[in-house]
Structure 1
Amino acid sequence: MHAQDRKPQQHSFAYGDEEITFTLRRQPSRVVPRVAIHVEPDGRVHVDAPSTAPLAKVLAAVKKRSRWISQHVSAAKARLAHVLPREYVSGESLHYLGRRYRLKVVVEPEASVKAYMRGPFIIVAVPKHDTTTIRSALDDWYCQRAREVFAQRFLVIAGPLQWVQELPPVRLRFMQRQWGNCSPAGRITLNPWLVRAPRVAIDYVLLHEMCHLKHHNHSRAFYSTLDRHMPNWREIKEQLDERAAEYLR
């Protein structure tokens, strides 16, 4: 969730009958010699390692976790297999702040295009049933909601963080695989679709990115800071990853 120090490289190796492929991200600023392995919600594998660590040592560390990686990649692919592509028709399931709503498309020839929430429904009014128009209206609605929710939660999360003297510049950008990232200059980019997740998951992502304002890496110091301000973040991240395929589609 942060800007990498070097261009990532692809590597792979055999594990039984399968091939495990991972992206190696070299980090000159990573002072901890430990190799960190991450399996993303879509099954991609990222490995963070210091720039001084020999490739052979990195490969040995990754191969040692082959079984763990294989299990998590398989679980991610299984979750994705059950997620159907969205058709933008009435009755489809939508999420907002972790709660499930139903899409209701209202077609009225004189209607102005707009989306709004009413009871258990997220309603989209359109002059004719056009998938692109419905999707655009929903994206605009989620963006507006995301701006409001993120602004509120940033104030809450930033309060106890002594290294945050003022809120960082923030922009929204729809992303297929990331919830957010933090540039070396301290600008945070967030995925509006994160507003589909529960508030506690939103808080975790915001805290994660603000910790990168202090530690521009995934070092032990970074995780210690994250642990100190949100001791149960691993459980929250696991739950978010389990629903990522639904929230990101």
Structure 2
Amino acid sequence: MKLKRELKDHGFSYNLIRSPKRKTLSIIVRANSDIDVLVPTRTPISFIENFISSKSDWIKKKLHFNSEIRPSVKVKTFTQGEPFLFLGEPRNLDIQTGRRAVAMGEDHLTLTLPASTGNEKKTALVRRVIEKWYRQQAEIHLKQRTEQLAKVLGKSPTHVGVKGYRSRWGSCHLDGRIYFNWRLIMAPAWVIDYVIVHELCHLIHHNHSKDYWALVESVMPDYRHAKVWLKTNCNTLDL
């Protein structure tokens, strides 16, 4: 259950999300500055607000980072000439009439739609078709690069797939399965490589210990640059 609430005396509101599966309280400040507070179902409001108050300085730092450091992003309209990122480079959308398809050129992304597509449904259709294409391209690129980088590490996953995560870029399971956020295909290739290396190293160290980060650095010495880029620009990687 999701409920919008305002925290008095702190100047921000938050989304209260109760779940019977949760055992602890958690706060997520998203790239668009939405604040989600995840709590067990029966947690009293007074306890929740005391918890948020104790984290208010941290929350305000995150909000400041979003407003002052992260680049501003316009809401997508899915119209002619609008730029869409692919491997870190913008491609301007070119909508044509024809059999439904997506093709990428050097500086454009051509989308063809049947002439019978009505204007009232066009925006939603353009979004669906582009997202499907992004997912397909992400699966191809991420599987290929994971296979290549796994050879460097000497450790391969049991499966590689893509998912529509909202608050993570990848995940590594104890049985060796690795999944990536399809939105990564919008990031520069070297940033994608960092996420792949990050998850591959979890096949050896399923934690974030010093040994884990030493392993990441041995494969990708400049990983910190990619990590900062992703933290700063994550809000640009979406439709």
- Fold conserved between structures, TM > 0.5: yes
How many aligned residue pairs are there? 207
Q: Deviations over 1:112-163 (max 9, x none)?
A: 211111231101111224122111211121122112211221132112213x
SS at 2:140 equivalent: helix
Matched, 1:123 2:110: yes
Q: State the partner residue of 2:126.
A: 134
Q: State the partner residue of 1:151.
A: 143
- TM-score w.r.t. structure 2 length? 0.71
Aligned partners of 1:248 and 1:80: how far apart in 2? 14
SS at 1:133 equivalent: helix
Q: Deviations over 1:76-112 (max 9, x none)?
A: 2446782222111012110011111111112x3xx22
Gaps of 5+ in 1: 1-13, 27-37, 46-62
C-alpha deviation, 1:68, in angstroms: 7.3
The answer as to whether partners of 1:101 and 1:121 remain within 8 angstroms in 2 is: yes
- TM-score w.r.t. structure 1 length? 0.68
Paired-residue identity, %: 27
Among 205, 213, 220, the alignment partner of 2:203 is 213
Higher relative contact order (CA 8 A, sep 6+): 1
Amino acid at match of 1:135: R
| Misfit runs of 4+, over 3 Å | 16-19, 38-45, 65-73, 77-81
C-alpha deviation, 1:210, in angstroms: 0.8
Task: Give the 3 Å change call, closer, same or farther, for CA 17–136 of structure 1 in structure 2.
Answer: closer
Task: Give the 3 Å change call, closer, same or farther, for CA 235–18 of structure 1 in structure 2.
Answer: farther
Amino acid at match of 1:121: H
Aligned partners of 1:89 and 1:149: how far apart in 2? 26
SS at 2:102 equivalent: strand
Please provide the CA RMSD for this pair. 3.7
Aligned partners of 1:66 and 1:133: how far apart in 2? 41
SS at 1:170 equivalent: strand
Aligned partners of 1:95 and 1:194: how far apart in 2? 10
Task: Give the 3 Å change call, closer, same or farther, for CA 232–42 of structure 1 in structure 2.
Answer: farther
The answer as to whether partners of 1:142 and 1:195 remain within 8 angstroms in 2 is: yes
The answer as to whether partners of 1:207 and 1:226 remain within 8 angstroms in 2 is: yes
Aligned partners of 1:152 and 1:92: how far apart in 2? 29
Gaps of 5+ in 2: 1-6, 15-21, 37-53
